[in-house]
Chains A and B, each alone.
Chain A
Amino acid sequence: MSAIEIHDLHKSFGTTTALDGLDLVVEHGQIAGFLGPNGSGKSTTIRVLLGLLRADAGTVRLLGGDPWSDAVALHRRLTYVPGDVSLWPNLTGGEAIDLMARLRGGLDAARKADLLERFELDPSKKARTYSKGNRQKVALVAALASDVELLVLDEPTSGLDPLMEAVFTEQLREAKAAGRSVLLSSHIMSEVEKVCDTVTIIRAGRAVESGTLADLRHLTRSSVTAVVAGNASPIAALPGVHDVVTTVDTSGTRIAFDVDNDDIAAVLTALGTMGVLTFTANPPSLEELFLRHYGDELAAAGVPEPSAGGRTSDGTPR
């Protein structure tokens, strides 16, 4: 059985629909990335998983139990880092860490000390004097110091500097090695790409893409640039080819385009007949995949839709 299984989950707040038929699965021992733009429903999903919000419809299973009715028992087996960590102003960071661990049933003091050192956190300062990043560290130390089956992390690296992000990534790998499952919501593609086994991209309360990283890469386009001796115009007519830009100069015809990975073979065959002089192809990054799914919103915000290779479709950077 999976650590998390969500099927057709619906949740609305008054007239706002936050989740609209979401599906999400996290297998045991895996790190699952959970990506989506602001307001897409990541935190809402996590709160349903924690039994804080009641689902309107759909099935949700967490570690084999029902998150709403078995909340207390399930919470013994997981830790949670909220998206916006707010601590008790008159408690020190160290006190907050100890308290959270004790509420969960115990603290590994050596592990706490080790994590404090790695995250370079001073535990004797009152929480009200901590910066956002330091509050985040307190929650991370509290979560990582406990011996649990599942880590539920809502944008855990927001506010961390790159050095601390690296420490965090390292910790996630260790957690996975120890057999823990992780649900990691994030905006940061590189982080997800580094550590996640599977990724679910959610938009407007619905999963628009999910699978292993390899699966998802397969769905994307590669960007190709070639200079050919012959006529390049047949390329544009091939299926799966997008955003073609051709320029003719003395050395030949320069053609740049994106191609769906599934259609790449046909393109290579066609190019072969044209006398290829130079050829480069760039593999897709997840960033592009992510941006592609956000395309509409970016366009609405006045940002042109990016294509593979990071060019704008007319070939000129804006």
Chain B
Amino acid sequence: MTAAAATPVHTPVSTSLADSFAGTWLLLRFMARCDRVRLGVWTASVVGLWLYCATAFTTVYADAAERQQRAELMGTPASILMTGPGYGTDNYTVGAMFANEMVLWIVIVLAVMSIGEVVRHTRAEEESSRSELVRAAVVGRHAPALAAMLLVVAANLVIALLSALVLVTISGLSIGGTTVMLGGTVLTALVFAAVASVTCQLTPHSRGASGLAMGVLGAMVLVRGAGDIQRQHGSALSWVSPIAWTQQTRVFVDTRTWPLALSVVAVVVLLAVAVVLAGHRDFGAGMFAERRGRPHAHRLLRSPLALAWRQQRTALAWWTVGTVVMWLATGTYLKDIGPMLQDMSKDSEFVSQVFGEQDLSYAFVSLMMLFAGLVALGYGLAAVARARTEETAGRAEYVLATPVSRGRWLAAQLLVAGAGAAVLVVTAGLALAAGAYSVGAHDPHVGTYAAAAGVYLPAVGVVLGVAAAVYAWAPRWTAVSWAFLVLGFVVGMFAELLRVPGVVQRLSPLWWVPRLPAEAMAWPPTVGLAVVALAAFAVAFVGFTRRDIPVT
């Protein structure tokens, strides 16, 4: 391909297939150079995650009895949603444990990375107009897409290789099993990369392309979960999701490799679709054309708040729809969960320890509300980060040169972030209630759901307040606030599994939230969180009125 790139393309207009890929190798090297730090961070993160889990699993779950206790928890709908189809739970080896509990997360991480890289190097690059230069030079029509895909394949393979090293040496897993497990995660991630190369042809803008691809990923995560909840080891619905195609290899239990072929076929088909679509669209445009807008602003678009809302409303709408679907669907299982868990706790002392003596469906509701809190954090932090984007893009400066005070501008950004997060938590609670009511589960009462959701608001406020304060005082460090989401997630989900120390757990504002309705309402921590939140916001406003804008 280097040769093709080097020879001048003055040959008469023979746009052969080979020509359309000219320059791929050159581009690939260029992309790899541009992204060496970014990909390095991804690699370190994934391998680090494996490393951490390998050590944790091998020390914490050293003997079979302990693993078996954990296996007993794997039958609840919530754990199925968060893990896998539950192969090997009757003899929960370390390998089976990895395959069942880690594959989902690794696939998600790799898929997010792959989608990001594909969009970055194709659509986003087109928009930057740098690509026009490249294309005008030596590069064939499909070369950027192919190069991006090859880059993603290479990155995934490197990560898989290093991860395999960790798993084989530290956890003593078999080479064959490790290959199937990691090979499966890579193939599934590539399916989503291929999905992204299709969405890149559809939407008029790169943000839309990655959003659409991420949406597909999210839907597939849900579909797999719902399918596996319907029937142990998965139902027909599960098989719709590419995530099942790796989980269904039953690796380390009763390995079969043919489901991996589904991923290969899907990648080939999707890439073919992308190539065909690419032939039908103009450079820089999408299949769905950019619509024209209104030449005059709506009469309500007249304040920083209206502007911030306008910027966020589409994102919030999508987050809300996703939340409603997920929590409503989960709610419909609530009727069966109580008895199901009761049966399980009769058989297993461990289950009854974890969920306690009270009505087990209460414990499940509490868990779902924790997830809702995490979702709200994700949205809220992204919304606060928008303030930073407005500043670095120069739009904050533009607005602040009008008679809009700094306080008013910041308040608008934070109000939209905070209100959006609040809407998400409460929506999740009410959707869960609606799902439960729809199947005739009237206990707990809908008011209890609302309270269980609402009690997260002060904690969400603390995180957003601290994020705002960081933005105000040290704008370059705004992204550090995402650590709260990671912390909240790890503490909430893996505190027991990974034996996270108590001090670290207390650092997460969500840890202080009373887990209604499983636990009783506790006012002191709730009020305490609210006070801390208010203080953090106050600190943010003081900082923001004193500093230079923009800080770039």
A interface with B by C-beta (< 8 Å): 47, 50, 52-54, 71-73, 75-76, 78-80, 82, 84-92, 94-100, 102-105, 123-126, 128-129, 139, 152
Contact of B403 among A76, A87, A96, A99 (CB under 8 A): A76
Contact A125 B297 (CB under 8 A): no
Asked if A88 and B296 make an inter-chain contact with CB atoms under 8 angstroms apart, the answer reads: no
B394-413 to A contact mask, C-beta < 8 Å, 1/0: 11011111111100000000
A246 → chain B closest CB, angstroms:
49
Segment at the A interface, from B229-237, B303-311, B466-474:
B303-311
> Is chain B's binding surface mostly helix, strand, loop or mixed?
loop
Instruction: Given A90-B311, A128-B205, verify A95-B296 contact (CB < 8 Å).
Output: yes
User: What distance in Å separates the Cβ of A93 from its nearest Cβ neighbour in chain B?
Assistant: 8
B403 touches A86 (CB 8 A): no
B-to-A contact residues, CB < 8 Å: 205, 290-298, 301-304, 307, 310-311, 314, 393-395, 397-405, 546-550
Contact yes or no, B301 A95, CB < 8 A: yes
Q: How far is it, in angstroms, between the C-alpha of A52 and the C-alpha of B293 when the chains are bound?
A: 32
Known: A86-B394, A100-B402. Contact between A54 and B294, CB under 8 A?
no
Nearest CB of A to B207, in Å: 8
Q: Considering the chains assembled together, what is the distance between the CA atoms of A89 and B401 in angstroms?
A: 19
Q: In the complex, A82 Cα to B310 Cα: how many Å?
A: 22
Least distance between B346 CB and chain A CB atoms (Å): 56
Report whether B394 and A90 are in contact in the complex, using a CB–CB cutoff of 8 Å.
Answer: no
Question: Is A104 in contact with B402, judged by CB distance below 8 angstroms?
Answer: yes
Whether A105 touches B403, Cβ cut-off 8 Å, given contacts A53-B549, A91-B310, is: yes
Residue contact B401 to A75, C-beta cutoff 8 Å: yes
A sample of 24 inter-chain contacts (CB < 8 A) reads A50-B400, A52-B397, A54-B546, A72-B404, A72-B405, A75-B404, A80-B398, A82-B398, A86-B394, A88-B395, A92-B293, A92-B295, A94-B293, A94-B295, A102-B301, A104-B402, A104-B403, A123-B295, A124-B292, A124-B294, A124-B295, A126-B290, A128-B205, A152-B401
Smallest CB separation, B127 vs chain A (Å):
8
Given A71-B400, A72-B405, A99-B301, 7 other A-B contacts at CB below 8 A? A85-B394, A87-B395, A94-B295, A95-B294, A97-B297, A100-B398, A152-B401
Given A91-B310, A128-B205, verify A86-B398 contact (CB < 8 Å).
Answer: yes
Are B297 and A103 in contact, CB atoms less than 8 angstroms apart?
Answer: no
Looking across the interface, which residue of chain A has its beta carbon closest to that of B396? Answer: A52
Q: Are A88 and B307 in contact (CB under 8 A)?
A: yes
Query: Given B290, B393, B548, which contacts A86 in the complex, CB threshold below 8 Å?
Result: B393
B297 x A86 contact (CB < 8 A) = no
Which A residues are CB-close (under 8 A) to B402? 75, 80, 100, 103-104
* A72 close to B310 (CB less than 8 A): no
A249 CA to B393 CA in the complex, in Å?
63
Does B397 contact A47, Cβ atoms closer than 8 Å?
yes
Expressed in whole angstroms, the Cα–Cα distance for A249 and B311 within the complex equals: 75
For residue B406, give the distance in angstroms from its CB to the closest CB of chain A: 8
Measured CB to CB, the closest approach of chain A to B368, in angstroms, equals 33
Chain A residue nearest to B301 (CB atoms) is: A99
- Contact partner of B404 (CB less than 8 A), chosen from A97, A103, A124, is A103
Complex contacts, A98 vs chain B, CB 8 Å: 296-297, 301
Q: Closest CB of chain B to A92's CB: distance in Å?
A: 4
Contacts of A82 in B (CB 8 A): 394, 397-398, 401
Contacts of A92 in B (CB 8 A): 292-295
Chain B residues within an 8 Å CB radius of A90: 310-311, 314
The answer to whether B550 and A73 have CB atoms under 8 Å apart is: no
A208 to B502, CA, bound (A): 63
Cross-chain contact A126 with B395 (CB below 8 angstroms): no
Contact A103–B293 (Cβ < 8 Å): no
Closest residue on chain B to residue A105 by CB atoms: B403
Residues from chain A with a CB closer than 8 A to the CB of B310 are 88, 90-91
Given that A71-B405, A82-B394, A128-B205 are known contacts, is A103 also in contact with B399, CB under 8 Å in the complex? yes
- Per the bound structure, the CA–CA distance linking A100 and B550 in Å amounts to 19
